[in-house]
A and B are shown apart, each in its own frame.
Chain A
Amino acid sequence: DAGVIQSPRHEVTEMGQEVTLRCKPISGHNSLFWYRQTMMRGLELLIYFNNNVPIDDSGMPEDRFSAKMPNASFSTLKIQPSEPRDSAVYFCASSFGHGNEKLFFGSGTQLSVL
Chain B
Amino acid sequence: QKEVEQNSGPLSVPEGAIASLNCTYSDRVSQSFFWYRQYSGKSPELIMSIYSNGDKEDGRFTAQLNKASQYVSLLIRDSQPSDSATYLCAVFTGFQKLVFGTGTRLLVSP
Query: Do A99 and B46 contact each other (CB < 8 Å), given the known contacts A42-B101, A42-B102, A42-B103?
Result: no
The answer to whether A99 and B103 touch across the interface, beta carbons within 8 angstroms, is: no
The answer to whether the Cβ of A100 comes within 8 Å of any Cβ in the partner chain is yes
Interface size on A, residues (CB 8 A): 18
The CA-CA distance from A56 to B49 in the complex, in Å, is 23
Contacts of A42 in B (CB 8 A): 88, 100-103
The answer to whether A41 and B92 touch across the interface, beta carbons within 8 angstroms, is: no
B107 to chain A, nearest CB (A): 17
Contacts of B42 in A (CB 8 A): 107
Interface size on B, residues (CB 8 A): 20
Contacts of B99 in A (CB 8 A): 45
The answer to whether A43 and B44 touch across the interface, beta carbons within 8 angstroms, is: yes
The answer to whether the Cβ of A103 comes within 8 Å of any Cβ in the partner chain is yes
Task: Select one of A33, A44, A103, A108 contacting B46, CB under 8 A.
Answer: A103
The answer to whether A99 and B97 touch across the interface, beta carbons within 8 angstroms, is: yes
Contact with A along B84-110 (1 / 0, CB 8 A): 000010001000111111110000000
The CA-CA distance from A105 to B44 in the complex, in Å, is 7
A98 to chain B, nearest CB (A): 6
A45 to chain B, nearest CB (A): 6
Contacts of A45 in B (CB 8 A): 97-100
Task: Select one of A56, A102, A107 contacting B96, CB under 8 A.
Answer: A56
Most A C-beta atoms less than 10 A away, residue of B49, B88, B102:
B102
The answer to whether B88 and A107 touch across the interface, beta carbons within 8 angstroms, is: no
The answer to whether the Cβ of A25 comes within 8 Å of any Cβ in the partner chain is no
A81 to chain B, nearest CB (A): 27
Contact with B along A35-77 (1 / 0, CB 8 A): 1000001111100000000001000000000000000000000
The answer to whether B43 and A99 touch across the interface, beta carbons within 8 angstroms, is: no
Identify 6 residue pairs between A and B in the complex whose beta-carbon atoms are under 8 Å apart, listed by A's number.
A42-B101, A44-B100, A100-B98, A105-B45, A107-B42, A108-B43
